[in-house]
Amino acid sequence: MSCTGARAPFTVAIDGPAAAGKGTIARALAARFGLAHLDTGLLYRAVGAIGGDPVAAARALGPADLARGDLRSLAAGQAASRGAAIPEVRAALADFQRRFARQPGGAVLDGRDIGTVICPEAEVKLFITASPEVRATRRWRELPAGTPFETVLAEVRERDARDMGRTDAPLRPALDALILDTSTLAIDEAVARALEVVRARLGAG
Ligand code: DC
């Protein structure tokens, strides 16, 4: 299914690896421009957290699953990444994301394949990245004291390799995405650039 042809389409697609700053930028854009926001990683995290057959979990996913309190851990991220490599899991979650992307009033979605697979027609595509060391440091600071930094860095590298190396919808920038590297750009500067790009596109539309 393509997302072309829906009413009032205005989609901001934000892709990139874990802890690059996608969520912060997505929330800022949604608040500033009154767009609906979907953190698509939550769908894959919920599939991993439900356990059992990931394809059955993805097909039966409902709103209560996304409200679970155990979706933010390192283990949930790894389980999400493993399930996300299964094409039938991705297929089961695609239509919901496409409808969300093209809803009246506009939407911002952050994930790994929004600009490449879910909504290649998105009016704005951003690819937010940062070095593995910078991203692991951000994650490590959010975790309970005592978690070794090396463990977090290894987890970041492992998840990057799996998300970039899978056959179906691998993590990569769309050819027409604007790339923002938040290892060298403070997050508020990255937010300011993203706001400017969306403002310009809305003005041009
Ligand atoms: O964004 P996140 O860290 O919450 O995502 C968790 C995992 O889910 C990520 O490692 C890969 C997978 N994912 C995906 O394959 N496609 C998406 N659009 C979003 C997440």
Specify the CATH number for the domain of residue 142. 3.40.50.300
Q: Is residue 188 part of a domain?
A: yes
Nearest CA to ligand 1 atom 1: 41
The boundaries of the domain holding residue 163 are: 11-204
Number of domains in the chain: 1
Q: Is residue 3 part of a domain?
A: no
Q: Is residue 31 part of a domain?
A: yes
Q: Is residue 6 part of a domain?
A: no
Q: Is residue 1 part of a domain?
A: no
Q: Are strands 124-129 and 178-181 parallel, antiparallel or unpaired?
A: parallel
At residue 82 the predicted structure's pLDDT band, cuts being 50, 70 and 90, is very high
Q: Is residue 74 part of a domain?
A: yes
Q: Which of 61, 163, 166, 172 to mutate to test the pocket of ligand 1 (most atoms within 8 A of CB)?
A: 163
Rounded distance between C-alpha atoms, residue 186 and residue 199, angstroms:
20
Rounded distance between C-alpha atoms, residue 110 and residue 126, angstroms:
9
Q: Is residue 4 part of a domain?
A: no
Asked if 14 and 109 touch (Cβ cutoff 8 Å), the reply is yes
| Phi and psi based region of residue 21 (left: phi greater than 0; alpha: psi -120 to 50; beta: remaining) | left
The pTM of the whole model exceeds 0.85: yes
Residue 205: per-residue pLDDT: 62
Q: Is residue 5 part of a domain?
A: no
Question: 114-151: string of b/e by CB count within 10 Å (b at 16+)?
Answer: bbbbbbbbbbbbbbbbbebebbbbbbbeeeeeeeeeee
Residues 140-194 have pLDDT tens digits of: 999 889 999 999 999 999 999 999 999 999 999 999 999 999 999 999 999 999 9
Q: 174 in ligand 1 pocket by Cβ < 6 Å? A: no
